[in-house]
Amino acid sequence: MGGKPALTGILCIGCAPVGTKRRGGPGGLNKVCGVSPELQAIVGEPALPRTEIVKQLWAYIRKNNLQDPSNKRKIICDDALRIVFETDCTDMFKMNKLLAKHIIPLDPNKGSSQAKRLKTDVESTNESTESGTSPIIISEALAEFLGTGGREMLQTEAIKRVWEYIKGNQLEDPLNSMVILCDAKLRELLKCESISALGIHEMLARNHFFRKS
DNA sequence: CGACTGCTTTAAGTCCCACG
DNA sequence: CGTGGGACTTAAAGCAGTCG
């Protein structure tokens, strides 16, 4: 339909001779995000860019004829979709909203626009560990938690593995995936019963990441 | 009247520009 | 120079508006 050419048109304005003003780029929605186990059953991958997740979801919807014939914007949920969206039918616009619950930022440091607002706070916490792209020393407790031999790794890798543990053990609060319910092992590491996604990063940065000296 | 274009919605990350 | 705001990115289908 007309949607894509419209965007292309806007793009062309953006690409005006004044200067190749290209925003967005490889990040943004193209950033790889974690996929909840429920959604994984549909898209078939544990981690995908948001755009790919939507694409795979639409492929699944078409393959299974889940569009309402009278209004193709409407999606009729089958069992798998019902588990994901928690509704019998939805539409293409609401779908994106519902999808958000099942898309988990692999790097919770920059997980949301809320995080963006808190960016300065968090970054000040990060001063001790820099940006996450250079190796850091992790605490003995975290090394034990991750089951790694060494204590040197990328900050992003450490965070990623903590999140893998959380997802693997389904520790996300079903009512709010931004809240993590700690099991015994995680409780020992973080010293709390539950914690927010942002809180985990802050906690790790404060108590478990150390700059290489 | 038909063909085509542009806007609609939604998410979150990135980057540019304007302003203080 | 630092910060904040806003534009841009993706996907989809339908509707409204414009033009020939």
Overall pTM surpassing 0.85 (yes/no): no
Which nucleotide lies nearest residue A92, CA to C1'?
A: C12
Q: Give per-residue pLDDT as tens, A173-184.
A: 776 666 788 899
Mean pLDDT over all residues of chain A?
66
Structural domains of chain A ordered from first start:
29-104 (1.10.245.10), 111-210 (1.10.245.10)
For CA atoms A187, A191, A194, A199, the dihedral sign is negative
pLDDT value of residue A11 = 32
Residue at A105: amino acid letter: P
A168 beta carbon < 7 A from strand B? no
**pLDDT, position A212:** 64
Listed as ranges, the nucleotides of chain C within 7 A of a protein C-beta are: 3-4, 6-16
A192 CB and strand B closer than 7 A: no
A173: part of which helix (H) or strand (E)? strand A172-173
pLDDT digits (tens, 9 = 90+) for A128-173: 333 344 577 888 888 888 887 778 887 767 777 887 788 788 887 7
What DSSP letter does each residue of A54-74 carry, written as one string? HHHHHHHHHHTT-EETTEEEE
Please, which pLDDT band fits residue A30 given cuts at 50, 70 and 90? low
Secondary structure of chain A: what % helix, strand, coil (to 5)? Answer: 50, 20, 30
Separation of alpha carbons A164 and A171, rounded Å: 10
Cα angle for residues A86, A179, A135 (degrees, 5° grid): 125
Residue A93 CA, nucleotide B11 C1', distance (Å): 10
A115 band by pLDDT with thresholds 50, 70 and 90 = very low
Task: For the beta carbon of residue A159, count every other beta carbon within 10 angstroms.
Answer: 21
Find the length of chain A.
213
Strand B lies under 7 A from the Cβ of residue A6: yes
State yes or no: pLDDT of A40 exceeds 60: yes
Nucleotides on strand B lying under 7 Å from protein C-beta: 4-17
Protein CA at A51 to nucleotide C1' at C1, angstroms = 36
The predicted-structure confidence for A54-83, as pLDDT tens digits, reads as follows 777 877 777 777 777 666 777 888 777 777
Q: What per-residue confidence (pLDDT) applies to A132?
A: 42
d(CA A56, CA A46): 13
